Amino acid sequence: MAVEHGPEETKVSDRGMVTIPAALRRRLDIEPGDKLRWTTDEDGSLSVGIVHQREGVFDDFEPVDVGETNALEVESEFGAE
């Protein structure tokens, strides 16, 4: 059973900025660097989607040589990020 939460309210600053309430950030796992995608429909209803930007998501991948350069040599010369 899903837990329902009441509406949250924030104020728009004179620069057009809003603060996402801490409870929403925690519940929706919104972290610094994430993006919000704003969309409206013809009725003027607003919806906001979360685009998570997780750093290091490719850290576990090994370099692959696709023929243009030798990825393993480049990594040994310049180091891994």
Measured distance CA(10)–CA(25) in Å, rounded: 13
pTM, 2 dp? 0.57
Residue 43 placed within a domain: yes
Residue 63 exposed, middle or buried by CB count within 10 Å (0-12, 13-18, 19+): middle
Residue 38, domain extent = 15-54
- pLDDT tens digit sequence for 7-17: 889 999 999 99
Q: How many domains does the chain have?
A: 1
What is the structure's pLDDT at 8? 86
Q: How far apart, in Å, are the Cα atoms of 64 and each of 51, 60, 69, 79?
A: 27, 13, 10, 15
HSE on the CB side for 65, CA within 13 Å?
8
Percent of the chain with pLDDT over 70: 64
Q: What CATH number should be reported for the domain holding residue 48?
A: 2.10.260
Residues with pLDDT less than 50, the chain: none
Residue 23 placed within a domain: yes
Residue 50 placed within a domain: yes
Residue 60 placed within a domain: no
